[in-house]
Amino acid sequence: MAFKERLKEKRKEAGLSQAELAARVGVTSRTIQNYELGTRKPQNVEVVQKLADVLNTTTDYLLGNADRQILAAYVRGGSKAARDVEELVSEISGLFAGGELDEEEKDAVMAALTRAYWDAKEDNKKYAPKSRHGS
């Protein structure tokens, strides 16, 4: 289940409209609508925490492992890093389509690959040519 589905499920369980949830979280009802349509995801940990608090759930439940990795990438490296990790997660998810691994094993693989992504980014910084200013 994706973030959009978990959010909608918890909002309905709480008996809230999109507008009511938006008002309690401090975002627009259009933002909640976009979250539930899957056209946008929160790019701020505080918003996810407010959603979880209002909906009496956890950020871990709302995000799931894949979205947690993407949000962490956004916080750490901006929108390009988030897109890179989202693409990586999408490709990895395709590998699991056969259902050979349970959720815990999938989470461990995704976490390991995300760490490998960040390690590679760090290694690339070491070997990137230094820019020369004023020469």
Residue 113 domain-assigned (yes or no): yes
Q: Of the candidates 69, 31, 25, 63, which has an alpha carbon nearest to the alpha carbon of residue 47?
A: 25
Task: Give 24-68 as a DSSP string.
Answer: HHTS-HHHHHHHHHTS-----HHHHHHHHHHTTS-HHHHHHHHHH
Residue 8 domain-assigned (yes or no): yes
Query: 44 pLDDT exceeds 60?
Result: yes
Sign for the pseudo-dihedral over CA of 94, 80, 119, 132:
positive
pLDDT for residue 8: 96
Same domain assignment for residues 22 and 47: yes
Query: 12 pLDDT exceeds 50?
Result: yes
pLDDT tens sequence across 63-103: 776 677 777 777 788 888 778 877 876 766 666 666 666 66
- What residue numbers bound the domain in which 52 lies? 1-57
Residue 22 domain-assigned (yes or no): yes
What CA–CA distance (Å, rounded) separates 51 from 60? 12
Helix then strand then coil, % of the chain, to nearest 5: 75, 0, 25
**In the Cβ-directed half-sphere of 36, how many Cα atoms lie within 13 Å?**
18
Same domain assignment for residues 69 and 94: yes
* pTM, entire model: 0.59
Report the 10 Å Cβ neighbour count for 102: 9
Residue 133 domain-assigned (yes or no): no
Same domain assignment for residues 14 and 39: yes
Residue 89 domain-assigned (yes or no): yes
What CA–CA distance (Å, rounded) separates 110 from 134? 43
Residue 135 domain-assigned (yes or no): no
Backbone angles phi, psi at 64, to 5 degrees: 70, 170
Which CATH number covers residue 34?
1.10.260.40
Question: How many distinct structural domains can be found in the chain?
Answer: 2
Same domain assignment for residues 19 and 36: yes
pLDDT tens sequence across 16-26: 999 999 999 99
Residue 131 domain-assigned (yes or no): no
